[in-house]
Chain A
Amino acid sequence: MEGALKLWAVILIVGALNYASRLSFIAIFARREMPPLLARALRYVPAAMLTALVVPMVVAHAGMPDPTHPRVPAALLAVAVAFVTRSTLWTLAAGMGALWALQALGR
């Protein structure tokens, strides 16, 4: 499948599955209890999936792992700032600021 058609297929299928997940226990399985083991496992979806998404964006540069890239220390600083402040704005400011500073120094 090519180009725009494939992208629209992604949008409609992911959108439908997301809506089905949102609606699941509210309407579709309204009379059922969530199995306790599932309830437990779902709590770890954000930490696991988002970390799997983020790590390659930080460490892999142009497709190759590069742990010396200035993105790595900038991201570590952002983690510390996010941990303390819980603020998206401060995290963005610290991470982008650190990256720009390191890039300017390395030039």
Chain B
Amino acid sequence: MRRHLDTASFRDGFVGMLPACVGLAPFGVVCGVGAAAAGADLAAAMGMSTIIFSGAAQILAAQLYAAGAPLAIIVLTCFVLGLRLLMYSAAMAPHLKPLSPAWQRTLAFLLTDQAFAAAIRRFNATDDPRDGASFFLGTGVALWAMWQATNLAGFLAGNLIPAAWSLDFAVPLCFIALIAPLMRNAPNVVAALVAGVAVLALAALPMRLNLVVAGIAGILAGTLAEIARERWKAR
């Protein structure tokens, strides 16, 4: 694996990801604070950031765990949230096909929203899969290292921040920063509206099932809205 590592491409990926790392640092801190608030110890908090390595899934898991939801519901809800990774995996697959299984397994572990966006651009711009893979590895390593450092900082600072600062509000704000830019696309607006209304309307469902049911309702609504829009345009 090492002999395929093109250090110039790796460096491009690593350095190119640094501005995004600065932007995502508060989200990492918020995830560390969230783990502390859910009652995780240091090992579990770092287990979440190193093994799950997905901010939204970490926050969701921590919140459902703190609310006493059963294991099966936590796993199901996080699984539905993680389904978007299938989309990234499918889009990345043709570019990673020429690489060895070791490369494929390593890069798959580092596949996140941000690494995907940066690496897919590089793969589309180059004919050399090794250049793209080394670049991808650089972005992934930069993100992973930043994520561990900021999660650790958040976990350690979590207990020191006064409750009057309402810092828990930073959690929904981080997600709003991810969702709001998607609202330029009408079916996404439909998906978000249906999910948002459904999660409140179904709040009486036991075991926090309202989250996953509302999420699936939103996904179906967005898909139907897209199909309806296509039919409308085709007329």
Contact = CB atoms under 8 A, between A and B. Distances in A.
Interface residues of B, number: 96
Given A47-B222, A83-B181, A56 B85 contact: no
Interface residues of A, number: 69
Interface string A1-43: 1011011111111110111011111110010001001111111
A1 to B, nearest CB: 6
Given A18-B52, A45-B80, A30 B93 contact: yes
B78 A45 contact: no
A10 B187 contact: no
| B-side interface mostly | helix
Contacts, number: 276
A46 interface: yes
18 contacts: A14-B61, A19-B108, A40-B226, A43-B222, A43-B226, A44-B223, A45-B215, A48-B215, A49-B56, A49-B219, A50-B175, A54-B196, A65-B200, A78-B173, A86-B177, A89-B22, A92-B26, A92-B170
Interface of B: 22-24, 26-27, 38-41, 44, 47-48, 51-54, 56-57, 59-61, 65, 71, 74-75, 78-90, 92-93, 96-97, 101, 104-105, 107-109, 111, 165-167, 169-184, 187-189, 191-196, 198-200, 203, 210-212, 214-223, 226-227
